[in-house]
Structures are given as C-alpha cells and as structure tokens.
Amino acid sequence: MIIIGIDPGSVVCGYGVIEKQKSVLRLVEYGVIQPKKKNENFNLRLLDIFERLKRIVETNKPDFAAFESLFFGKNIQSLIKLSHARSAAIIAALTAKSEIVEYSPREIKKSVTGRGNASKEQVMFMVKSILKISETPEFFDATDALATALCHSFRSNENITKVTNWEDFINKNPHRIVQVNKNNN
C-alpha cells in the first residue's frame, strides 16, 4: 500500500510518500512545494500546487491520500486560502484515483508520538525515528505530511489485536518502538 500525506498550504505545501508492506514502512519521498514567488496571483499559486502534486501522485500512484481535517482558526481569510490549497491538493490526488482519508490534528499527533498535544518538534523527531530519516527537514510541513501518512498506515491496521499492557504492545508492535540514547545531551 502506498500512502501520500499532504499538509496543504498556499505558501508551503508539504507532502510525504510512504509504502507499507505488512508491518514494514518505507520512505519513498518527501518535500515541500513552494509556489513560485512571482505568482502573486493566488489562482496561479493554486495551479502550481495542483500541477506539481499531480506529477508526484502520477509518479507514485498512491492508494490513499491522507489529509489533516480542517479546523477553524481566528483568521477567516487564512482558512479560505487553506481550503483552496487543500482543494487543489485533493483534486491532484484524485487524478491518481487515490482514496481520500482525513484525520484530526490531535489524532495524527497521538498516532505518531503517543500524545495528542505534541509539539511540531516532537512530531518531527518521531517521524525521523520511525522512517529512519537522518537529515533534518527544512520545513515542518514535510514531517507533518509524513506524520499524516503514518497515521493512516497505523489506522489501516484496524485488524490489530487489542493489547492490554505495555509489554503486550511492544511484542505486537516492534516497528513502533524507538530507542532513545539517554547519554546524548
């Protein structure tokens, strides 16, 4: 199963593609799309996002496109622009016949870090650990997109047997355990 996570934005749009075979996760690619600065026309920025994401989904042919569900902020203009960018991204994903799935921000953070109120830095740390990424991505948008894809990969395991304690969880989910070296300050 191939999953693309998309963190849409009209200024920076993050994306991350992972492949899941049984319980093995593999990073395919990730990055950000920054519409050309010269495209001051908002509609041209949306077209740029659509065209570049379309090329990514045509190359990777994801089965699922995972998005963070929208939430209402204080600035209605920002919400409207985000909605437009999200629509361009959804349409790009649909060109590859990807199934669209949504998760709340809290659900995404909890699935990757274990805490629904985790910081962006904590999400980035866990994404890098889970997918064995050595470099530090320049933008949180890319790791947020990967976290969204990871959330779907974990949630698609709805046939996971229930666990009753931490030892049982560790035995059934060794791929979700991250070793932290406490000697590194």
Render pLDDT for 101-114 as a digit per residue (tens, 0 to 9): 999 999 999 999 99
Write the single-letter amino acid at 165: N
| Active site (annotated) includes residue 168 | no
> Which structure tokens are listed for 68?
């963070």
CA–CA separation, 152 and 150 (whole Å):
5
> What pTM does this model have?
0.82
Domain 2-176 has CATH 3.30.420.10: yes
48 has catalytic annotation:
no
Q: Which residues, other chains included, contact 161 with Cβ-Cβ below 8 Å and sequence gap of 6+?
A: 172
pLDDT tens-digit readout, 119-135: 999 999 999 999 999 99
**Which residue in 51, 68, 121, 138 is the catalytic one?**
68
Q: Which residues does 125 contact at the CB level (< 8 Å), separation at least 6? A: none
